[in-house]
Amino acid sequence: MHPSQTSNETEFFEQGQLVGVLTAQPLDRVLDYKAPEGGCWLGAFVEVPLGPRKVLGVVWGPGRGDWDIKKVRAVLRVLDVAPMRGEMRDFLTRVGGYTLTPMSAMLRLATRAPGLGDPPSMRKVYRMGHAELTKRTAAREKVLAVLEEFGGLSFTLKELADHAGVSASVVKGLVQMGAVAEENTPRDLPFPRLVPDYGGKELSPDQASAANILRRDMASGTYGTTLLKGVTGSGKTEVYLEAVAECLRQGRQALVLLPEIALTAEFITRVEARFGMKPAEWHSGVTMTERRRVWKMVGQGDAQMVVGARSALYLPFRDLGLIVVDEEHDTSYKQEDGVLYNARDMAVLRASLNSAQVVLASATPCLESWANAESGKYKKLELTSRFGVAVMPEMKAIDMRSEDLPGQRWISPSLKNAVDQRIAEGQQALLFINRRGYAPVTVCRACGHQIGCDQCDARMVEHRFLKRLMCHQCGESKPMPNVCPSCEVEDKLAPVGPGVERLAEEAVNLWPDAKIEVLSSDMYASARALKARIEAIAAGEADIIIGTQLVAKGHNFPKLTLVGVIDADLGLQGSDLRAAERTFQLMRQVAGRAGRAEAKGQALMQTFQPEHPVIRAILGGDENAFWSAEAQERKAAGVPPYGRMAGIVLSASDVQAVFDLGNAMARQAEPLWRIGAQVYGPAPAPIARVRGRHRVRLLVKAEKTAPIQKALAQWAGQFKLKGDLRMAIDIDPQTFY
């Protein structure tokens, strides 16, 4: 029996007793089984027979006993992993209830590691051998020096060779001589212990006082959420690492969520410098065997710190004491398919069930967190200045209405001059456009009107080859007009706001001698390749960086002193209620890229509407004014965070069937009306057809305190989904358009 299998559960089922087992199979109930020989604990991971198959499950409680006892089969075996803890079962139940997700899907989310039931596999590791070196070489010395330095530690072949900076064959040679010993050990090894006081920078007074508060909260052993706000480079990471240190001292586990895998490598390096060892990693770039190791070690408390993507929230922590959500405003924390949850909110839930602390770090928190801090639900700590000499860049608008810019060009003369200067000074410039690929917008140069789709609120995208305007949302298309539909001036319509690739073409023409680098997530085969590129660029291997949103996310480019935002207006249109908020955050983040080191930075924003309130708020830097105004507007409209919303997407291959269901749902919404909720729609979903399936959307709006989940479940439960009809319910949807 696993050592931790006895530690936390009081409920034990003797052999033959009925237990209810939750499996990851899409069934709507927990199934009865007989406890196996030797019995099992509540929460135990087990293998059970289901029809002709063997499936993974968790002992969820006593059996219901409503099956013919003669037909009830026995649990096949108990897996050699730590049982699921009570707070984890609670957490999964609560998330399932909140997001209206079946428990089987929740269990799948919590067991995303292969081979949990496999017997432990072995692998070769290397440690100091006994034989003396007969023939010394520099490479061999390096290997032995590493083994010496780390005392009794053993390494994998790759770890040892990498650490010593030699090839694997050098290590193998040493094994033959007996100077290095090769042994077999279980593959799923514990992670090396982190040392809370290993490294650590001298903190600025600002940082020190924030760190003290976090440390004290951490030591309290209770739940609490803190918003740690400060511009990029103000030293937030150093501060929350102090909370991690305190968490480690308490003997508890820490989880740090990052929005982007590309950021992990740099962060891991910082953790290693701070705590002497690397933490565990959990994201899509981690190998399957390593995933299993992380999952198991987290469960038995042999991984003290995990750095990962949102799904790391569902790891079976033995004693989770702290969750940090870095760049908490980032939209990638919202899972948009499968189980629709927001990792930021679920982190808060998980922490509250674990008496753990949450730190939400951001330069530009989302309105929800801002409002929670205002109301006192969250504590707020603010770092006001950039760390060291770097200061916030100077921010200016370039009024595109008065720039002399020929068609098919997006880099204004003013911006070009500024870039020229930086290149001449040996510094880097970033041209930012938040659109991947090659997708322009059509705008009237006389009045600024942008041509939209008649069917939905999206802008039309020009397709040169087809000589048509197309809506990427509903598929509607029309010939390219030559008169502006708004001001009726002729021949002023032109495509602007190119995608990142198109912008690169222009840059190559403008700066034929410059080193130009395009940084867009879809242009790299792997996170590793992307990371390598980012490092080379940071080291100065480019004069001009052309990038999408990717570069807005926390990478450090010391030589970068100028950011040109190609289209600051992008994102201000559309019916997304968070459009203004997103634009505001993104522009501030991008501007934060400039002048991270000694040289003072500048951010230039090209805009056709410099008087727009969002643009003015960005330039003016009066954040509180922006948030207050934004909060007012949302309050008045009764939308999140001051009201509740749910999006329902229906889909089927038959368009009539989807609309029929949508209409029926809109007509028979008593459970929702009873709680005072309103139902909008059905309307074609923003992406009206995906892979041959038609999609229709309904939107439910309710007061903040209304019991919306229960009503939604009752409402949705009235309808049978015939044929290939599907229904997805998204609580607190992040995208509306």
Q: Could you list the residues that contact Zn ion (CB under 5 A)?
A: 444, 447, 449, 484, 486-487
Residue 555 binding partner per list Zn ion, ligand ADP, none, with a CB distance cut-off of 5 to 8 Å that depends on partner kind: none
Q: Which two tokens stand for residue 686?
A: 């923003």
Q: Which of 448, 540 has the CB closer to Zn ion?
A: 448
Region of 408 on the Ramachandran plot (φ > 0 left; ψ -120 to 50 alpha; else beta): left
Q: Which residues of 537-566 are buried (b: 16+ CB within 10 A; e: fewer)?
A: bbeeebbbbbbbbbbbbbbebbbbbbbbbb
CB of 212 to ligand ADP, least distance (A): 14
* Nearer Cβ to Zn ion (480/523): 480
Residue 706 CB, nearest approach to ligand ADP (Å): 38
Residue (206 or 567) nearer to Zn ion, CB: 567
579-591 helix and 613-620 helix, angle to the nearest 10 degrees: 30
235 binds, among ligand ADP, Zn ion, none (CB under 5 to 8 A by kind): ligand ADP
Cβ 374 to ligand ADP shortest distance, Å: 22
Residue 289 to residue 327: CA distance in whole angstroms:
29
Q: How near is the Cβ of 592 to ligand ADP at its closest, in Å?
A: 8
Task: Please give the distance of CA 41 from its chain centroid, rounded to a whole number.
Answer: 34
- 104: which strand partners? none
Contact criterion met (CB below 8 Å) for 9 and 63: no
**DSSP output for 438-501:** S--EEEETTT--B-B-SSSSPBPEEETTTTEEE-TTT--EEEPPSB-TTT--BT-EEEES--HH
**Can you tell me the distance from the alpha carbon of 587 to that of 595, in angstroms, rounded to the nearest whole number?**
15
Closest distance of CB 231 from ligand ADP, Å: 7
Instruction: Select from Zn ion, ligand ADP, none the partner in contact with residue 318, using the beta carbon and a kind-dependent cut-off of 5 to 8 Å.
Output: none
Q: Which is nearer to ligand ADP, 233 or 499 (CB)?
A: 233
Residue 241 vs 615, nearer CB to ligand ADP: 241
513 binds, among ligand ADP, Zn ion, none (CB under 5 to 8 A by kind): none
CB closer to ligand ADP out of 233 and 647 = 233
Smallest gap from Cβ 621 to ligand ADP, in A, equals 17
CB 240 to ligand ADP: min, Å: 8
Interaction site with ligand ADP (CB under 6 A): 201-204, 207, 230, 232-238, 387
From 244, 213, 238, select the one nearest 322 (Cα to Cα). 244
For the CB of residue 344, give the shortest distance to ligand ADP in the complex, in Å.
17
Half-sphere exposure of 56 (CA within 13 A, CB side): 21
Q: Give me the least distance between CB of 216 and ligand ADP, in Å please.
A: 19
How many C-alpha atoms does 156 have within 13 Å on its Cβ side? 11
In the bound state with Zn ion, the residue whose beta carbon lies nearer, of 484 and 572, is 484
Cα separations in angstroms, 648 against 14, 26, 462, 680: 45, 21, 30, 10
Closest CA to 726 of 680, 692, 686, 676: 692
Residue 25 binding partner per list ligand ADP, Zn ion, none, with a CB distance cut-off of 5 to 8 Å that depends on partner kind: none
Task: Give min distance, CB of 399 to Zn ion, in A.
Answer: 18
Closest CB to Zn ion among 488 and 633? 488
Beta carbon of residue 203, minimum distance to ligand ADP (angstroms, whole number): 5
What DSSP letter does each residue of 385-438 carry, written as one string? S-STT--PPEEEEEEGGGS---TT--S-HHHHHHHHHHHHTT-EEEEE-S--SS
Calpha distance 669→57 (Å, rounded):
36
φ/ψ bin of 513: left (φ > 0), alpha (ψ from -120 to 50), beta (otherwise): alpha
Of 233 and 686, nearer to ligand ADP (C-beta) is 233
Which CB atom, from 228 or from 679, has the smaller least distance to ligand ADP? Answer: 228
Separation CA 582–CA 310 (nearest Å): 20
Residue 625 near which of ligand ADP, Zn ion, none (CB within 5-8 Å, type-dependent)? none
Least distance from ligand ADP to the Cβ atom of residue 324, Å: 11
Nearer to ligand ADP, 31 or 210 (CB): 210
Task: Report the partner that residue 91 touches, choosing among ligand ADP, Zn ion, none (CB closer than 5 to 8 A by kind).
Answer: none
Q: How far is the CB of 551 from ligand ADP (least distance, A)?
A: 14
Query: Which one of ligand ADP, Zn ion, none interacts with residue 237, CB within 5 to 8 A by kind?
Result: ligand ADP
Decide whether 328 or 730 has the Cβ nearer to ligand ADP: 328
Which one-letter amino acid corresponds to residue 112? R
**What single string gives the DSSP state of each residue in 575-614?**
S-TTHHHHHHHHHHHHHTTTT-SSSPPEEEEEES-TTSHH
User: Choosing among Zn ion, ligand ADP, none, which partner's interface includes residue 487 (Cβ < 5 to 8 Å by kind)?
Assistant: Zn ion
Q: Indicate which of Zn ion, ligand ADP, none lies near residue 444 (CB less than 5 to 8 Å, by partner kind).
A: Zn ion
The entry of ligand ADP, Zn ion, none near residue 447 (CB within 5 to 8 angstroms by kind) is Zn ion
- Do residues 260 and 550 lie in contact, with contact meaning Cβ atoms separated by under 8 Å? yes
Between 204 and 486, name the residue whose CB sits nearer to Zn ion. Answer: 486
138-149 helix and 157-164 helix, angle to the nearest 10 degrees: 110
Strand partners, 55: 48
Work out what residue 99 binds among Zn ion, ligand ADP, none; the CB cut-off runs from 5 to 8 Å by kind: none
User: First vs last Cα of the chain: how many Å apart?
Assistant: 53
Q: Which does 233 bind (CB under 5 to 8 A by kind): ligand ADP, Zn ion, none?
A: ligand ADP
